[in-house]
Amino acid sequence: MIKKISVRQKKIIEYVIIFLLIPTIIALGTLVFEDRKYAFITLAVTILACIPLLLTFEKRTDSTRKLIIIAVMTALSVAGRFLFALVPGFKPVTAIVVLTAIFFGGEAGFLTGALSAVLSNFMFGQGPWTPFQMLAWGMIGLVAGFLARPLRKSKILLSLYGIVAGAAFSMIMDIWTVVWYDDSFQPALYIAALLSSLPYTIMYAASNVVFLLAMIGPIGKKMERIQTKYGI
C-alpha cells in the first residue's frame, strides 16, 4: 500500500522544485548549453512549475474549480500583455499574478506567472529569456502567496509589493542580459545593466501599482465570492 504524502513532505517537494530544481535547470541552460537548448529548458520549467500546484490537489471538486480559475487568470494575464504590447513597461501581468496568489495561494500564483510568460511569448517570441521570465513572474506570485493576508488588508503594502515586484523582475531579467552578453556573470556588467534599465524598471513598478489598485476592488470581490461559494 502506497503511503500518502504528508502536507510537510509536499511543502518540502514544492520548495525543492521551486528554489533548487528550476533555478538549476535555468542555469544549466544558460551556462552549459549556452542558450542553444532554450526550448527544452522552457518545457522542463513548465512541467516543473505545474508540480507544486498538483501536489495541493485532492480528489475533490474544488481542485478542478481551482484549476479552472488559474486557467482564467492566466488567460487574462496573457491577454493583458497583448493589449498593452505597444506601451513598454506598462503591463498588468504582475498584478494578475499577485492577485491570483493572495486569493488562491502561492502555488497558484507561481503557476500563473510561469504560464503567463511561456504562453504570451508565443506572440512576443520564445527565446532563452523565456525561462527567466517564467522564474521571475513565478517567484513574484509565490512570495505574494506567503504575504497574502497583509497584502489583502492594506493597499499601502500591496502598492509597496508592486514596486518591489517590478524591481525584482528587472533584477532577475538583467541576470540573463549579462550572461547573454558576456557568457559569464560579471558584477560590474550587472550593475551597469541595472542602471541602464532603471527607466523601464520605474515604469514597470509604477504600472504594477496602478493595475493592483485598479483590480483589487472589482476582481478581489469576485475572488472572495468564489472562495466563499465554493470553499476554495
* 33 in any annotated domain: no
**CB–CB of 57/98 below 8 Å?**
no
14: nearest Cα among 163, 196, 178, 139: 139
**CB–CB of 132/173 below 8 Å?**
yes
Q: What grid cell was written down for 38?
A: 532554450
* 7 in any annotated domain: no
* 118 in any annotated domain: yes
Q: What is the largest CA-CA distance in the chain?
A: 58
**CB–CB of 120/178 below 8 Å?**
no
* 14 in any annotated domain: no
**CB–CB of 189/181 below 8 Å?**
yes
Q: Give the confidence band of 2 by pLDDT, cuts at 50, 70, 90.
A: very low
- As a whole number, mean pLDDT of residues 8-27 equals 90
* 124 in any annotated domain: yes
Half-sphere exposure of 46 (CA within 13 A, CB side): 12
* 69 in any annotated domain: yes
Interatomic CA distance for residues 86 and 81, integer angstroms? 9
pTM, two decimals, is 0.90
Q: Domain tally for the chain?
A: 1
Domain that holds residue 71: 60-230
Predicted confidence at residue 5, as pLDDT, reads 72
* 140 in any annotated domain: yes
* 21 in any annotated domain: no
Predicted confidence at residue 7, as pLDDT, reads 77
Question: What is the distance, to the nearest Å, from the Cα of residue 133 to the centroid of all Cα atoms in its chain?
Answer: 8
Predicted confidence at residue 203, as pLDDT, reads 94
CB count, 10 Å around CB of 25?
18
- CATH number of the domain that 155 lies in? 1.10.1760.20
Interatomic CA distance for residues 201 and 93, integer angstroms? 14
CB count, 10 Å around CB of 17?
17
Res 124 pLDDT > 70: yes
Where are the strands (E) in 92-202, listed by range?
Answer: none
130: nearest Cα among 119, 142, 145: 119
Interatomic CA distance for residues 74 and 127, integer angstroms? 20
